[in-house]
Amino acid sequence: MAAYILRRVLWGVVLLVLVSLLTFAIFYVLPSADPAQLRAGRDASPATLHQIRVSLGLDKPLTVQYWTFLKHLVLHADLGYSYFSGASVGSLLLDRLPATISLTLGAVVIWLLAAVPLGVVSAVRRGTWVDKLTTGGALLGVSMPVYWLGLVALYLFANDIGKLPLLPGAGSYVPFTHDPWKWLTSLILPWLVLASTFAAVYARLLRGNMIEVLSEDYVRTARANGLSERRVVWRHGLRAAVTPLVTLAGLDVGLLLGGAVLTETVFGIPGIGRLNYDAITHADYPLIQGTVLLAAIFVIVANILVDVAYAYLDPRVRET
Amino acid sequence: MRRSANRALSLVSLCIAAAIALSACGSSTTTGGTGASADNGAGGHRGGSLTVLTSQDMASLDPGITYASLDLNVLAATERTLYTYAPNDPSNIAPDLAAGPPQISPDGRTLTVKIRSGVRFGPPVNREVTSRDVAYAIERGFNPHVANPYASTYYGDIVGADRATGGPIPGIQTPDDHTIVFKLTRPTASLLAQATVLPLDAPVPPEYAKPFDAKAPSTYANNVVSTGPYMYAADRGGRVLGTGYVPGRSVRLVRNPSWSAGGDKRPAYLNAITIEIGGSPTVSGRQVLAGRGLVLADSPTPELVKRAYLHNRSQIYFSPGAGTNYAALNTAIAPFDDADLRKAVAAELDRQQMRTVRGGAVVGDSGSHFLYPGVLGFEQAGGQQGTGVDFLANPQGDRALAARYMKAAGYPSGKYTGGQTVQIVGLAGAPDSDDAQIFQQALQDLGFKTTLKLVDSTVMYARFCGLPKARVQACPNVGWIRDFADPQTVLDVAFNGNDIFPENNPNWPQLNDPAINRAMARAELTVGTQQRANAWGTIDRMITATAAAIPWLWDRQPNIFAANVRCVPELWNQGHCDFAYTSLK
């Protein structure tokens, strides 16, 4: 198992280098803004533009720029400085990370707590009004864009612009360390909004998996052996049906930790997603590279964790 | 027939979607409705805090680098430039750090400014400002680590500026602590005097800033010192980054303890100003209209403008003179190297419809030339009536006239039959994309085959419209706003044939008319307000007559604020609430 994990970690490092190279290539090859021009404004002469390029190190050959970046990253864990604000990329990421972690983990808890019972009940009571209601609700949840749902949630429930002012609205986020209660209340609406789509998808997937699993021979055998229906469903059915969802959840959590830009924007949460969006808008290459690498790290780590969890849930995986 | 039907349909649907539907659609008036009125701020209530909501971060805190609109808004409260504009007078410069009016020598080659005594830097410098600090501020603009974008444009005539790299410039002299003298190579002192309202000359203490300026790029922005009534919150060492400024999150302004109200016209009623960065304008706008002590620094969405105009009229202000929007036609390549084809497009284009999709008459007048209302020379160029060219006479377009110009261009059917497909690059996102589509429709009605690419603003300028080798034939969403109250700042960079650059080219139509270039060269050296107005008004007429670009809107910028905010709009800066004059009710 240890060798397996080590092999995955090494592959992760290779992937990170590839991701950084790809990000670098995309930034310079595809149509995008020019950081020097953004900094210079429209009045600037070619000479001024050149000065800015020199001061940002953009005048050097691309290979030199990339090598310098890699060298600083590997030797000093230094992601460089934002072209736009002059702040170190590392400090900007650290500043934004708690908000994104808060948003993601809270949403994950909510969507799993909602999706698992809904998916199971829907599968067990297939064709009944409970199933139809759950399936319809899931369809609705999948169909609603997060951005739109966020706006509706704010217009309904935010305590500043809502018709039923129940919860803090956009821009109310405070870090947990500043005020845990305000942190909690400020995140309830974003959690619910972000979780709704995922809960819907997961419930539908789990329903399908459960229906398939419950028709398997070993489940019939379990029933024939006199096990209670509750034990058959929750112990034997769910354990097998939930395994593919673990893979998906791992990937989704990894992606969301890389930034939930729409939710963060609607609710004014200063997270990684918004940071990445701003970096792209400002053609702030060091920051783009930093946010992309961070997202990649989360996805890779999540994948490794998923594989380990998979092996735990399904003993056959350990043997292969 | 099908095109006409589509056009009618799009007009109806756009009108429904656009802001101010009730007042705008179908209106042909040139004077829009108004919300709140301009204010000089006198007699405001002292105290309280203002919160500014914006989706956009500041471009830079360094007065030597930036001149973005939000940044100018903040710098007007934190810095003192030699001259400034009173918030309700965007035309006449008034002394700020200067002790009196600028003294211009009879030959126009020397500008002398006396500096006020008793103005002090905020912490951690805490000493009196001298003329040497102003000189250093300008000199560092030429330092490659600072690389001010407009230093060479407006300060480039100073003796020795052409060789400046951040050290002393021979043409900037400081005979004593309270006098600064600019020696110029050309008689352009009156233009330089006007340019001193820009933040480059806000004093910078050399003994404090030089270590920051030695780094590439300069890190002075992270440690900036203030001279105005407000300063960025900072740690004991003066570091602003992480305290008064958290990138992408917030800017926090507090009172500057070194500032003295004596000798400064700004009342500085507010105790503190916080700028919260990063929300969605849709949500932030509603928060502002419903909340207290709030201001929106973003352009409000059309839906929000409509809401404010209909339900919160006292909370919206439409700032006049917020720029010209125009469609640039590339005169350097076919097909628009043909002036008659350009005039046909101008005649065909329904400029009123382009305004309607943005909100109608309240957001501006249908433009007919490039100097817009409030800019010197506007009346001389023809004012609201226009310059008199027939192809811009009807804001709704004139199809018969367009057909005549098409025939003059060699297309007897009145439709384009050449093989050229016109590449149009416009801005993504309504209402800009709607305007681009209206423009595209006009070309298609004239028989052109077109491709329309809609991109982000930065991409549009950097990779397409401002890059001649991209060979884009039409850019319908470009625009220009003055740097200060002189018409040269509107016309020179944007239409001078000598300023066509291989990249970051601001002369989007690539107009290179020798007669216009010569007229500009003469006008640059013209002295006297009336004389400059006449000279540049004439140039505006000449540019308009080429149809190299089609002006379609003279902007009025909407600004919204909470009901308990007495917003004093900066008419020189798109009507942002001036933090040093604004108060809470």
Domain residue extents for chain A: 35-78, 93-317
At a CB cut-off of 8 Å and minimum separation 6, what does B250 contact?
A: B274, B275, B276, B277
Q: Which two tokens stand for residue B218?
A: 């300069």
Q: What is the ipTM of this complex?
A: 0.83
For residue B78, what are the CA distances in angstroms to A244, B193, B274, B354? 57, 21, 13, 38
User: How many angstroms from the chain centroid is the CA of residue B510?
Assistant: 21
Nearest residue to B279 via CA among B298, B293, B294: B298
Closest CB from A33, A43, A283 relative to B150: A43
Strands B294-296 and B49-54: parallel
A274: nearest CB among B245, B248, B463: B248
Tell me the C-alpha distance between B141 and B150, whole Å: 9
The model carries a pTM of: 0.87
- Name the token pair of B542: 């000449």
The predicted structure's pLDDT at residue B2 = 30
- List beta partners, residue B480: B324
Contact residues, chain A, for B149 at CB < 8 Å = 39-41, 43-44, 48
**Of residues A54, A191, A204, A83, the one with CA closest to residue A136:** A204
Nearest CB among B53, B216, B461 relative to A55 is that of B216
- Measured in degrees and rounded to the nearest 5, phi and psi for residue B180 equal -130, 135
Smallest Cβ distance to B283: which of A51, A91, A170?
Answer: A170
Contact (Cβ atoms closer than 8 angstroms) between residue B564 and residue B292 = yes
Mutate to test the interface with A, among B72, B155, B280 (most CBs of A within 10 A): B280
A94 touches chain B (CB under 8 A): no
What phi and psi, each to the nearest 5 degrees, are found at residue B4?
A: -65, -40
Minimal C-alpha gap between A297 and chain B (Å): 23
Q: Do B466 and A37 touch (CB under 8 A)?
A: yes
Encode chain B (585 residues) as per-residue pLDDT tens digits.
Answer: 332 333 222 222 223 233 233 333 323 333 334 567 767 788 899 999 999 999 989 989 999 998 889 999 999 999 999 999 999 899 899 999 999 999 999 999 999 999 999 999 999 999 999 999 999 999 999 999 998 989 999 999 999 999 999 999 999 999 999 999 999 999 999 999 999 999 999 999 999 999 999 998 899 999 999 999 999 999 999 999 999 999 999 999 999 999 999 889 999 999 999 999 998 999 999 999 999 999 999 999 888 998 999 999 999 999 988 899 999 999 999 999 999 999 999 999 999 999 999 888 888 999 999 999 989 999 999 999 999 999 999 999 999 999 999 999 999 999 999 988 999 999 998 889 999 999 999 999 999 999 999 998 888 998 899 999 999 999 999 999 999 999 999 999 999 999 899 988 999 999 999 999 999 999 999 988 899 999 999 999 999 999 999 999 999 999 999 999 999 999 999 999 999 999 999
A282 touches chain B (CB under 8 A): yes
The answer to whether A47 contacts B152, with C-beta atoms less than 8 Å apart, is yes
d(CA B406, CA B343): 8
Whether chain B has a CB inside 8 Å of the CB on A68: the answer is no
Among candidates A87, A160, A268 on the partner chain, residue whose Cβ is nearest the Cβ of B290: A160
A residues 118-147 lying closer than 8 A (beta carbon) to B:
none
Measured between beta carbons, the chain B residues lying within 8 angstroms of A155 are: 286
Residues in chain A: 320
Kindly list the distances between the CA atom of residue B523 and the CA atoms of A285, B109, B162, B183, B570, in Å, as whole numbers in the listed order: 42, 16, 22, 20, 28
Where helices occur in B294-447 by DSSP H, the ranges are 302-311, 339-348, 351-356, 399-408, 432-445
The pLDDT of residue B249 is 93
Nearest residue of chain A to residue B223 (CA atoms): A86
Q: Which two tokens stand for residue A87?
A: 């702040």
Fold of A93-317: MetI-like fold (1.10.3720)
Q: Which of A231, A237, A255, A43 is nearest to B154 (CA)?
A: A43
| Cβ separation A281–B280 shorter than 8 A | no
Chain B residues with beta carbon closer than 8 angstroms to that of A171: 53, 276, 279, 284, 287
Q: Please report the pLDDT score of residue A314 as a whole number.
A: 67
Q: Does A38 touch chain B (CB under 8 A)?
A: yes
**Is B506 close to A43, i.e. CB distance below 8 A?**
yes
**Are B462 and A37 an interchain contact pair (Cβ–Cβ within 8 Å)?**
yes
pLDDT, residue B33, reads: 44
A207 touching B (Cβ < 8 Å): no
B469 secondary structure, DSSP code: G
CA distance A312 to chain B (A): 42
Min Cα–Cα distance to chain A from B150, Å: 6
| Per-residue pLDDT at B14 | 29
Closest residue by Cα to residue A101 from A257, A293, A258, A296:
A257
> Which residue stretches of chain A have pLDDT < 50?
none
